[in-house]
Amino acid sequence: MRRIYEPPEPDDGLRVLVDRLWPRGIAKEAARIDEWPKGLTPSTELRTWYHGGGAYEEFRRRYEAELDVPEAAELLDGLRKAAREGPVTLLTASKTPGESHARVLQDLLTG
Domain range annotation of the chain: 2-110
SS3 at position 89: strand
Distance CA 54, CA 9 (A): 33
The pLDDT value given to residue 43: 96
DSSP symbol at 17? E
- Closest Cα to residue 43, out of 105, 109, 101? 101
Question: What pLDDT sits at residue 111?
Answer: 78
How is residue 35 annotated by DSSP? B
Sign, CA torsion 36/39/40/43? positive
Which residues in the chain come in under a pLDDT of 50? Answer: none
Contact status, residue 1 vs residue 102, Cβ threshold 8 Å: yes
Claim: this prediction has a pTM higher than 0.85? yes
In one letter, which amino acid is 17? L
